[in-house]
Amino acid sequence: MPTVEKKILIADDDSSMRLVLSQAFMRLGHQVRATGNVATLMKWIGEGDGDLIVSDVLMAEDNVFDVLPRIRKERPKLPVILISGQNNVLTAINAAEAGCFEYIAKPFNVEDVLSAARRALSSPTDPESAKAQARAVRDERLPLIGRSPPMQEVYRAVAKLVRTDLTVLLTGESGTGKELVARVLHDMGRRRAGQFVGVNLAATHAERVEAKLFGGDDGAGGKLIEADGGTLFLDEIDGMSLDAQMRLLRVIDGSEAVVNPRTNRRCSIRVIAATTRDLRGMIQQGLFREDLFFRLNVAPLRLPPLRERLDDIPELSRAFLLRAAREGLPTKTIDATALERLKLHRWPGNVRELENLIRRICAMHPDDLITARIIERELVEAPPGAEGVEDEPETLSQVVERKLASYFADDPVSAPPPALYDHLLDQLERPLFRMTLAATRGNQLRAAALLGLNRNTLRKKIEDRGMEVMRRRRRRSQPST
């Protein structure tokens, strides 16, 4: 039962939908008024009635988007949750820009609506907070998030490239979102009716690359045939052998035909490649073919690291919190001091590191509000380096050695603590277990398999460390509507 009774206004021309939603809110102790038309909804709003609106977008001949500006003008602090069968990114963007608190696509689980309602009724009602929440709702559904100048450059380039079939070379550090950009180029481009086929060449044994791309001697088709009519995304292109590079070059320049046995026609493919390395430097070392580089580098696009777009961290963080909640992790909010603390981190793992941090906090911390203290406890600071100078990533062994050096320094204050071995083991195992459990969403069986440990051994180690594990929330069984 809620601590404060609220009045929920429900608008949907489907009587069964009104009944399901009304009963769900009344079971929580709320008052409910339900209607099947926009005119009645607007009458109630004009009378100052209701603490929350839950409405379908399309009702008979009415479109709620048409009256949202009026609702915002008359009741700027009244949260609106929209439900729609028009399940596309454009509808989500329109809902967010119109100031809606949440947009939920049909078919949905009733618990999703109730969860959104709880957040709406408990969130601050000042206009800036409402705008931030609306942007988070929009961003959580978009493949690329951020409005900083570096990301605006990326968006402008993507907008031009989706209208072409040009070969694209994506460069940038690990975790900057190269595959996300490749998917956007495919999903919004001319070849969206075809397949998007991704190949991580760094994860493929060098001797297997050619068979994987071009097909094996056993007659099995390769990824080039699978991507016929669509897009082939070659991640970590620098991982190809020189022989495989030569063959790929022949396919791209048309001197070697790859025929699709289903159509008996030459395959038509858009190639998008990605790398974290300096291919020009590899060319000088004889590790990458210069002619292939020029074939791939038709439309180069660099993705900025997170440290160059720190202003995007608040929007990214809020979107990742919503995404974690949708995956079944506990719903949390983040305060301004925590966001400022996140901006001080170096982010060697970029956006991927930030998302993993948010998910880990949602899984491991019982607090509903994420504060700077929680962020401080979770973040592992990057090794110090000259400002603006790119440092080589420090290995785990080097990190341990640097820590030991401080323990064994001449200063008595830095003398090694008692039981040094157990102390260091504890410092290693705690973040290792936390991050592994976060990655497996609290599933200890999967975590144990990932770590190469027996499940009972992992459970005992977690208990010995006194660690609290937030298990994935089980949704109550609800009929899909």
The domain over range 149-302 is classified in CATH as 1.10.1740.10: no
Q: Please tell me what DSSP assigns to residue 255.
A: S
E-strand spans in 241-322? 259-260, 265-266, 270-275, 299-302
Entry field: residues in the chain: 481
CATH topology of domain 1-142: Rossmann fold (3.40.50)
On whether the pTM is more than 0.75, the answer is no
Alpha-carbon distances of 240 from 53, 84, 243, 270, 288, rounded to whole Å: 55, 46, 8, 18, 8
**How far is residue 321's CA from residue 116's CA, in Å, rounded to a whole number?**
13
> What is the rounded distance in angstroms from the CA atom of residue 72 to the CA atom of residue 28?
27
In the structure encoding, which two tokens stand for residue 421, read together?
């071995």
pLDDT of residue 387: 35
* CATH 3.90.550.10 describes domain 396-464: no
Domain boundaries, the chain: 1-142, 149-302, 311-384, 396-464
Q: Is the peptide bond before 412 cis (omega within 30 degrees of 0)?
A: no
> Residue 306: its pLDDT value, please?
96
Asked if the domains at 311-384 and 396-464 fall in one CATH topology, the answer is no
Average pLDDT along the chain, 481 residues, taken 10 residues at a time: 74 90 92 91 91 88 82 87 68 67 79 86 59 53 76 86 93 93 90 92 76 72 90 92 90 88 91 94 92 95 95 92 86 89 90 93 89 85 38 60 53 53 79 83 86 88 74 50 45
C-alpha distance from residue 18 to each of 21, 55, 57, 80, 100 (Å): 5, 10, 14, 16, 20
CATH number of 311-384: 1.10.8.60
Residue 172: the pLDDT is 94
| Cα 133 from Cα 96, distance rounded (Å) | 9
Encode 338-373: b = buried (16+ Cβ within 10 Å), e = exposed: bbebbeebbbbbbbebbbbbbbbbbbbbeeeebbbe
Q: Which two structure tokens, joined as six digits, stand for 186?
A: 């495919």
Distance (Å, whole) CA 432 – CA 27? 42
